[in-house]
Structure 1
């Protein structure tokens, strides 16, 4: 019997819509083995899988030796490299301040700057010496970088605060497209010398034409002497500031920072606050925000309360006292500020059997519990961040 004329079954796999492919791959974005498998199983999954695998590349000195870094650099230099278009976020992490800064960071950064197909949007440089920055200045200031996080250190202890800021500014002025900037600086077991601006830096400026958000860590007092100098910072698009207050700071310089840097355009102010373990008191200086005419929202984050996770009553008491101290030392807040909120770094559920007079901590009407009439037209709430 001749069956040659009968239709043969079609064993071809059905075509999956591209949108469904993306959903499948994005579901595995944090599962590296699954992403590798997907990139090998189906050609239509290859592009999205590579994107999820390489879009956030992280290289740390403690996990990679000089040969490993050189190998990665050679891969990027290869004309057959196909992962370059997928790398949009790059994090390079050095090592402890007691050791020389790794040379592979400089070589890798130079390679990245020489690749026209590499369109970095986010770059994070952590645990590197301040002396390395002049070697990392990009060849072309017209970069695609919109987010930069700079964590510098100085283990030797011979750099003054003025030189620290000037080196950072010389580096930052080469990134014209930046929209978000995070600056951190720490020193190993020393006190940084805070010197007033010298005459030879009169013409120096930090130009951030497109930056909308700046975050400064607890060592931002290193930047205050220069940042508080009129005309030093040019950031016309700045609308959001995040500060992590140190345990001690000169009130005059902090107030100058608010009056000079924040006053022209800042709308959102985020302040992280710590407390003294010995006295359980919140450290918060008196600040006057009367010159911040565009300010609309203030967010206070009370940190390091996790040590009281086994003693909820003590934790709540510390938070209540801290909120009261903050509001009592906050000046110049008018009706244009529509929201003042408080939060903690980790969510805490209200404890069972909490006394009635503390229950208002978990309500939106925090001002009612504080009985503070100055904020009667402002939404004041407690929330977790």
Structure 2
């Protein structure tokens, strides 16, 4: 039977089966009108990367000339601006079903940047961007369905300009917040401004990067006590010795995964000793190693703690500060030192620079239609 004689529903079924084959989808889009819409649907569901001003203009021209043909299919978009150039997104209004937007290297002051153009946006990722506080805050208030806000790298322009907090009814569906940029002391201030009116209701994933959530030491972390009971994932860094009274981690009773980046293994022991999360399944921590023998003894002590009894996975990342590099033998040494520990979990050991964002999960998994 000729391709153009097949019923539309059969054409769509065939295309759905080929959704992972880019070349096959391009071929299907050329077979006829019945094959075109569904082929474009899958072609444009892939992440579209705009890496230059020329590509940006090409995409805008394509969408503005044919908004019903192209714009409605775009779901994932990444725009790389020239370093700290002004953000200009005139074509966003023609992408009514855009769900995930990555902006890299941009700054903006226009608080209406997302107005009437981000009704379906669920994930906003800002990498080395420099928005003003008003530009970011008022922009977020125009994204009603936002679930994930991720701010990475760079120094935002709003370092000293956090004046008016987010509205109390903004971001009702927010469940993931990641704040990890160059100015670590500003991280709790940004989060405080986000949560001071709307609260922390529904927050399940929190990664504060190189900062340490210590509400007992600094009142700017007041919001952490409110967020802790609903957190399923928590990631943070401890660069100095703390006690359990400083961190309030005993409030995190629903944790499923904990990521730590610590300066020494003894700090991990202090943190883990006060975890009271019966559903905790994964613990990952990164630390620096200067001399091997004391660290292996401390590591064995940590991994024999009661909190590890019900885990399914443990991952350790070691930042070696020894010369020459002994990493080829260290993994075996660690495993042999742990043979006497009764455990039911898998152990993964990696070597490299400590990275507290390396294993951050995605709570929401979209279903392909």
Indicate the TM-score class for this superposition, using the shorter chain for normalisation: 0.5 to 0.7
Does the aligned pair in 2 maintain the 1:85–1:118 contact within 8 Å? yes
Whether 2:59 is the aligned partner of 1:72: answer yes
The count of aligned residue pairs is: 301
2:165 & 2:96 partners in 1: Cα distance?
A: 37
2:278 & 2:101 partners in 1: Cα distance?
A: 35
Does the aligned pair in 2 maintain the 1:58–1:90 contact within 8 Å? yes
> Could you tell me which residue of structure 2 aligns to residue 37 of structure 1?
27
1:335 & 1:234 partners in 2: Cα distance?
A: 23
2:50 & 2:201 partners in 1: Cα distance?
A: 35
2:164 & 2:264 partners in 1: Cα distance?
A: 40
> Could you tell me which residue of structure 2 aligns to residue 27 of structure 1?
20
Does the aligned pair in 1 maintain the 2:29–2:35 contact within 8 Å? yes
Does the aligned pair in 2 maintain the 1:121–1:147 contact within 8 Å? yes
> Could you tell me which residue of structure 1 aligns to residue 334 of structure 2?
none
Counterpart among 202, 209, 226 of residue 172 in structure 2: 209
1:83-116 per-residue CA deviation (whole Å, 9 max, x = no partner) reads 222112222221223xx43xxx52xx23322x3x
Does the aligned pair in 2 maintain the 1:213–1:239 contact within 8 Å? yes
2:42 & 2:240 partners in 1: Cα distance?
A: 42
Does the aligned pair in 1 maintain the 2:166–2:196 contact within 8 Å? no
Does the aligned pair in 1 maintain the 2:81–2:106 contact within 8 Å? yes
2:220 & 2:204 partners in 1: Cα distance?
A: 14
- Unaligned residue ranges in structure 2 (runs of 5+): 287-292, 316-347, 349-358, 360-369
> Could you tell me which residue of structure 2 aligns to residue 339 of structure 1?
281
Q: Taking structure 1 as the reference length, what is the TM-score of the superposition?
A: 0.61
Query: How well do the aligned residues superpose, as a CA RMSD in angstroms?
Result: 4.3
> Could you tell me which residue of structure 2 aligns to residue 121 of structure 1?
99
1:171-206 per-residue CA deviation (whole Å, 9 max, x = no partner) reads 212111111111235139xxx896597xx6479768
Does the aligned pair in 2 maintain the 1:125–1:149 contact within 8 Å? yes
> Could you tell me which residue of structure 1 aligns to residue 325 of structure 2?
none
Counterpart among 261, 270, 282 of residue 328 in structure 1: 270
Deviation at 1:291, TM superposition (A): 6.0
Does the aligned pair in 2 maintain the 1:270–1:300 contact within 8 Å? yes
1:341 & 1:77 partners in 2: Cα distance?
A: 48
Pairing 1:151-190 to 2, within 5 Å after superposition: 151-154=127-130, 164-187=132-155
Whether 2:71 is the aligned partner of 1:84: answer yes
Deviation at 1:164, TM superposition (A): 4.4
Does the aligned pair in 2 maintain the 1:242–1:270 contact within 8 Å? yes
Counterpart among 233, 245, 259 of residue 300 in structure 1: 259
1:183 & 1:193 partners in 2: Cα distance?
A: 13
Q: Taking structure 2 as the reference length, what is the TM-score of the superposition?
A: 0.64
1:340 & 1:284 partners in 2: Cα distance?
A: 23
> Could you tell me which residue of structure 2 aligns to residue 137 of structure 1?
114
Pairing 1:1-385 to 2, within 5 Å after superposition: 12=2, 15=6, 17-18=10-11, 20-28=13-21, 31=22, 33-41=23-31, 44-56=34-46, 58-62=48-52, 64-65=53-54, 69-78=56-65, 81-97=68-84, 100-101=85-86, 105-106=87-88, 109-113=89-93, 115=94, 118-129=96-107, 131-134=108-111, 136-139=113-116, 143-154=119-130, 164-187=132-155, 201=164, 207-219=170-182, 221-228=185-192, 231-245=196-210, 256=219, 259-261=222-224, 263-264=226-227, 265-271=229-235, 283=239, 286=242, 288-290=247-249, 292-300=251-259, 324-330=266-272, 332-336=274-278, 338-342=280-284, 370-373=303-306, 375=307, 378-379=310-311, 381-383=313-315, 385=359
1:144 & 1:203 partners in 2: Cα distance?
A: 20
SS at match of 1:186: coil
Shift in alpha-carbon separation, 1:299–1:83, aligned structure 2, 3 A: same
1:324-345 per-residue CA deviation (whole Å, 9 max, x = no partner) reads 532323464225453341268x
Shift in alpha-carbon separation, 1:167–1:256, aligned structure 2, 3 A: farther
2:117 & 2:40 partners in 1: Cα distance?
A: 27
2:178 & 2:82 partners in 1: Cα distance?
A: 23
SS at match of 1:153: coil
